[in-house]
Amino acid sequence: MSHTFDPTALREYDIRGIIGETLGAEDARAIGRSFATMLREAGGRTVAVGYDGRVSSPMLEHALVEGLTASGCDVVRIGMGPTPMLYYAEASAEEVDGGIQITGSHNPANYNGFKMVFLGRPFFGEDIIELGRRAQAGAWADGQGEVTSREVLEDYVERLLLGLEGIDRDALAGLRIGWDAGNGAAGPALEALAARLPGEHHLLFTEVDGSFPNHHPDPTVSENLDDLRRLVASKNLDFGVAFDGDGDRIGAIDGEGRVIWGDQLLMIFAEDLLGRLPNAPVIADVKASRALFERIAQLGGRPLMWKTGHSLIKSKMKEIGAPLAGEMSGHVFFADEYYGFDDALYAGVRLIAASARLGKSVTALRSEMPAMVNTPELRFHVAEARKFAAIDEVKARLADSSFDVNDTDGVRVTTPDGWWLLRASNTQDVLVARAESESEEGLERLVAQIDAQLEASGLERGPQAGH
């Protein structure tokens, strides 16, 4: 037996597709067989499996478990929950060697996919390519694994609460916070967490519904925070927190309804952390504001600009021992008193803790940030075979430029007006652009430079591509 995946399903950071078109039960079974074979060869045996609230997730979970056990791995089923709960189950149990979460993350309801952990590290890039090769060759181990079930939600929520350790809970009694689960998989865990947190908590859309009837669960899109804004305004709350479909990305607004973007949240977390861990390295992706990198240095930390992608950031954190990292997309990683994976519920707890330790409201912390003018993330279609070549052409043209050019991930160019970025997406046939300045005029000049580079490569910043 062998199996060939749809070529669009094997991505850089995960496996993802459209149910009934590019992803189905046979794919899940083959993923299980290949992953189990690779894990056994590396000396592992036991895999934790969880799934999100999508309609197709139970079907994929059933097939995945069949594949894992058919290649000799034991499976611990943890049931439905957010992706970080699966990461927790893998990281906190000594006998668990790997983990697979079935999730479509923030994608539309007809999508689904798989996020994987292998012997405590992210499973991505070459790992996923090798998984595909194994499936195509049918190079699978045979065996008969056992299946057990484990309830981890209560333990997971108790672990989240340790993010408030050392803070006087009486000082938090007056806090009033809004939360929006977006009908995603974080809903039940959020209900359990909010019930144990000090203060007053108002919850939206905690009922898990894979059709996402209220709004799309992507908190990086401002319109998706409108329900939370209305809640914070109507109840006069201190701030609001929102999650994506599988609970590994956070969005936030302050008491005035202003979005606190991923890099701005990282500024708050860095200020809190560097007061306790001076000179620590803090990682942010290439899309983050210059203000963040300057603020980390000002606070006595060591800022590092790194490649976009949750798996790439997690790997770099382990490599250099960074206690904190984050991305514009709302993935935030804490390794100082946590496990180093991206967990939006834990980030929400740490936002409460940071505000308390710094002695300032979240709104005040947001108000202190420098006012920058920036574009949203601009995404546009470029043929898969062309996208990386186009970036190489831009690099070559800028080789003799007087501007500061950083090629960590694509091209990030700093000029007297600010900076602009052009990079190829690792997961889609898309180029991503962004620019930031201190003035509208400066921003216009930066965007004009992006357009000029695209034109020189025979491309144009045409219709926006979705996620």
Count of domains in the chain? Answer: 3
Residues 144 and 160 in one domain: no
Model-level pTM? 0.95
Same domain for 197 and 85: no
* Within a domain: 464: no
Give the tens place of pLDDT for each residue, 239-285.
999 999 999 999 999 999 999 999 999 999 999 999 999 999 999 99
DSSP H helical segments within 236-326, as ranges? 262-274, 290-298, 310-320
Cα 243 to chain center, whole Å? 10
Average confidence (pLDDT) over 118-140: 97
Q: Is residue 177 part of a domain?
A: yes
Show contacts of 156-161: CB within 8 Å, 24+ apart. Answer: 156/81, 156/84, 156/85, 156/88, 156/89, 156/189, 157/189, 157/192, 157/193, 157/196, 159/88, 159/92, 160/193, 160/343, 160/345, 160/346, 160/349, 161/193, 161/196, 161/197, 161/349
Q: Is residue 10 part of a domain?
A: no
The catalytic residue positions are: 105
Tell me the pLDDT band of 467, cut-offs 50, 70 and 90.
Answer: very low
CATH number of the CATH domain containing 179: 3.40.120.10
Same domain, 346 and 210: yes
Pair (221, 294) in one structural domain? yes
Residue 400 is part of which domain span? Answer: 373-456
229-240: pLDDT as tens digits: 999 999 999 999
Q: Are residues 179 and 297 in the same domain?
A: yes
- Residue 58 falls within a domain, yes or no? yes
User: What's the pLDDT score for residue 400?
Assistant: 86
User: Which tens digits make up the pLDDT trace of 73-84?
Assistant: 999 999 999 999
The answer on 116 and 162 residing in a single domain is: no
- Is residue 279 domain-shared with residue 293, that is, in the same domain? yes
Q: Which of 151, 186, 201 is the last residue of a domain?
A: 151
Residue 13 pLDDT exceeds 80: yes
Question: Does 59 share its domain with 191?
Answer: no
The share of the chain scoring above pLDDT 90, in percent, equals 91
Q: What per-residue confidence (pLDDT) applies to 108?
A: 87
The residue type at 176: R
In a 3-state reduction of DSSP, which class is residue 65? helix
Average pLDDT of the chain, as a whole number: 95
Confidence (pLDDT) at 107: 85
Tens-place pLDDT, residues 149-182:
999 999 999 999 999 999 998 889 999 999 999 9
pLDDT at 429: 84
- List the one residue out of 273, 259, 467, 264 whose CA is nearest residue 377: 467
Kindly state the DSSP code that residue 92 receives in the 8-state scheme.
H
Q: Check whether residue 199 and residue 75 sit in a common domain.
A: no
- Residue 22 belongs to some domain of the structure: yes
Q: DSSP states of 256-271 as a string?
A: TS-EE-HHHHHHHHHH
Q: Which of 108, 135, 151 is the last residue of a domain?
A: 151
* pLDDT per residue as tens digits for the range 171-216: 899 999 999 999 999 999 999 999 999 999 999 999 999 999 999 9
Query: Is 197 found in the same domain as 115?
Result: no
Question: What is the amino acid identity at position 59?
Answer: M
pLDDT digits (tens, 9 = 90+) for 287-306: 999 999 999 999 999 999 99
Indicate the residue among 95, 129, 151 that finishes a domain.
151
Is the pLDDT assigned to residue 463 strictly greater than 80? no
Same domain, 92 and 62: yes
Residue 7 lies in a domain: no
Flag whether 87 is in a domain: yes
What local confidence, expressed as pLDDT, does residue 464 receive?
A: 56
Task: With respect to residue 241, please indicate whether it lies within any of the assigned structural domains.
Answer: yes
Q: What are phi and psi of 198, to 5 degrees?
A: -70, 155
CATH of the domain at 452: 3.30.310.50
Q: What angle do CA 17, 328, 285 make, to 5 degrees?
A: 95
